[in-house]
Copies of this chain bind each other. A is one copy, B any other.
Amino acid sequence: MASIAEVAARAGVSPTTVSHALSGKRKVSAAVKERVAAAMAELGYVPSRSAQSLAMGVTRVIALVVPDISIGYFAELAHGVEAAAMRRGYNVILCTTGFDPARELTYLQMVHSRAVDGIVYAAGAPPTDQELSDLLGAMPLVFVDEEIEGTRLKSVISDNEAGGRLAAEHLLGLGHRKVLIVGAEGEPFSSSRRIAAFRRRWEDGGGTVVATAGGQFTESSGALAVAPHLATFQTGTATAVFAVNDLMAIGVLHELRQAGVRVPEDVSVVGFDDVMAAKYCFPSLTTIRQDVPALGQVSTDTLIDALEGAAELDGDQLRLPVALVVRDSTGPVQAGRR
């Protein structure tokens, strides 16, 4: 555990000079620089991060707050965050909250303890807690795919409205007019945006929403949500399902198959996200693709820009484009079912 003092001694210079040689903040003659480099190599010197952090008041570490990293969406997000952070010389600390506000609070403390410089906040749902919201408001932090009521914090989101519209247009174009929406309305930010936009475009196009069934954004909750409506599909009272995320859509697919409802012959299903499984489930899922790693990268770059004084953190949202991916779970409505 060589220290800068030992390196200095060995190179026959002062610690100051070693520091400058390393950081380049002041000029050091080539000869000395070389001696220092040699000494460092011999000693296997690596500067202590905690000492640097303490002296500089900055850690070059950011926290990524997610509810559960084993959910594909958040894993992909983490991938983007880590890539961007790495590129700029930052490390990322993984903070999973399990949707528990208490743990969230714990993690937010990390900026107060100066363990991290800032936070990429993708907790899956906006904080209900007042205490939390207050904390968040006064912190170097960027939201991913959500925003806090009232505050004008920076947030990076996918264009959920456009996604909802695309989904509606696709189904309308196939002749569908009666849809079941799977997803909780008025709930978390992005999900409600998707539904609202879908609904608007759908009704504009002459469609009707047969029902809305909520859920927890998991496969099983998707299956659960669709179960009471199986008869609806058999009679043709509804011919399409719009699920606010792929996990739920996959649960729907599963449930329909169990019940003997054919997709896409009897009912078309469209999801949202384009997770990996969407391509490999059966039938493969028509969905709205959002570029999740990009979401992570952009939010991280935004955060770091702000930390380094290159930008402000309050203000508007950054909105990333989405795209319709047509696969096998959607098809034209059958004759007589319209």
Contact = CB atoms under 8 A, between A and B. Distances in A.
Interface of A: 1, 44, 46-51, 53-54, 59, 61, 64, 68-72, 74-76, 78-79, 82-83, 86, 91-96, 103, 109-110, 112-115, 219, 250-251, 253-254, 257, 276-277, 279-283, 293
Contacts of A59: 50
A91 B115 contact: yes
B49 A113 contact: yes
A293 B91 CA distance: 23
**Helix, strand, loop or mixed for chain A's interface?**
helix
Nearest to A80: B70
A46 B112 contact: yes
Given A70-B78, A82-B94, A293-B70, A47 B276 contact: no
Nearest to A254: B280
Given A46-B113, A94-B82, A96-B83, A70 B61 contact: no
For the complex of A and B, the 9 pairs showing the least CB-CB separation, nearest first, are A282-B282, A50-B53, A75-B75, A49-B115, A46-B112, A70-B79, A277-B277, A50-B54, A70-B76
Contacts of A112: 44, 46
